[in-house]
Amino acid sequence: MKIDNDILKRYAEGKCSSREQALVEQWFEQYQREGAGEVSGEKFLERLTSLDRRTHGVKVRSLSYWKWEAAAAAVLLVGMLTMLKFNFFRIEEVQFFALEEIKAPLSSNAIVVLEDDTEYSLDSIRVGDTLSAKGYLITKLATGELHYITNAGETDAVVYNTLRTKSGGIAFVKLSDGSLVWLNANSELVYPIDFKGKEREVQLKGEGYFEVAKVNTDAGQREPFYVRGDKQSIKVLGTRFNANFTDEHITALLEGHVAIADKGTSVGGTKDIQYATQLKANQLYQNGKVRTVDHIEKYIDWKEGYFDLNGLTLYDLATKLSSWYGVEITVDSGLEGHRLFGGINRNKDLKELLELVAQTSPIEFYLKNNKVYINKANTNK
């Protein structure tokens, strides 16, 4: 049974127009409801001819050509429906064209929340703009950071703001003591607009990179800086480090000295905890263990605008990509531990990025129901 226009073949290859695709799917659903065994070969050809003419007006061979093969047509009908059903579901699952629509974020995808719960999108604040709040000002510098201007000593009350990022978001704030904080995607930082007294503490959810200012007391001692989390707390004495308070719970120290407690605390909460674990430069802490690593900078790749793949597993990469692109990504269990190498710019579209990974890894990928699946490549193709 040859169809001159071959619409079913083009549909299986994903080459139909959106109108043709809708017609084929409607046609197939009709046959699913009626059942292949209840439709004669001649009736099948009539409807197939109608379907083909509705797309491009190209005629198929006349029905009289097939009448002498009525019995054979019934058999071919079952085979054709089986072929169509297979290809229908294959194309439904493998929608590479849709992956092209998943772009790298072009905006900060972040908001600042004032003490009265007023929210401002960072993308709506241009460089040089100034927000006037209750007793303080917020301006956006050319570097992209939020900078606070306060009347120090005007009040003893501690006023907190919240910086919050969504999928694909990054934000940057300069605290009143001069410390700098970058927030990765899907993260939150609660901080005072002006540190009061000797206490310097912030609350972190998600992941943040800190460059903590060294502040000395009158006696020449350094004042500690605390990063509070739900399950961990960090005591800092002037340093550069990355705190990942997601499920990974990794603290990576680039410079200086920190102490870690495996106990969650909150800003203004209890201080009666023991910071038993000490980290030195080029060390990281995870799952109760301290280890020295080469290239500690890989843990702030997100801040520098790329994905460092060296030593990363496909499962780890999927977690990072899900957070950045805002799409759920699942890796076949047999590939979760597969190790990667190299580095890829975070500004690439998801499809382009995965194609680069596939050049050095045995993977194939597809999109179904807004979820990306990464499976082992079929080497028999």
Say which amino acid occupies 262. Answer: D
CATH number of 305-376: 3.55.50.30
3-state secondary structure string, 299-343?
HHHHHHCEEECCCCEHHHHHHHHHHHHCCEEEECCCCCCCECCCE
Mean pLDDT for 63-89 is: 41
DSSP string, 175-197: -TTS-EEEE-TT-EEEEESS--T
Tens digits of per-residue pLDDT, 39-61? 444 555 555 555 544 444 333 33
93 pLDDT band, cuts 50/70/90, is: very low
In the chain, the amino acid numbered 206 is G
Domain ranges of the chain: 7-93, 110-299, 305-376
Q: Is 68 exposed, middle or buried (0-12, 13-18, 19+ CB in 10 A)?
A: exposed
* Model pTM above 0.85: no
173 CB-contact burial (10 Å; exposed 0-12 / middle 13-18 / buried 19+): buried
Of 70-74, 139-143, 155-159, 364-368, least confident by mean pLDDT is 70-74
Query: Helix, strand, coil % (nearest 5) of the chain?
Result: 30, 30, 45
> Closest Cα to residue 256, out of 232, 292, 285, 280?
280
CATH match for 110-299 among 1.20.140.10, 2.60.120.1440, 1.10.10.10, 3.40.640.10 = 2.60.120.1440
pLDDT in tens, 198-214: 789 999 999 999 999 98
Q: Which amino acid is at 311?
A: G
Mean pLDDT of the chain: 79
Strand partners, 191: 161
* Mean pLDDT to the nearest integer, 133-148: 89
Dihedral (C-alpha) 211, 216, 221, 222: value to the nearest 10 degrees?
Answer: -10
What is the C-alpha separation between 302 and 250, in angstroms, rounded?
14
pLDDT in tens, 250-267: 999 999 999 999 888 888
Q: What is the pLDDT of residue 239?
A: 92
CA distance 245 to 262: 11
Task: Give CA–CA dist 66/304, Å, rounded.
Answer: 67
Tokens linked to 154 = 């005007």
What number is the average pLDDT over the span 353-368? 90
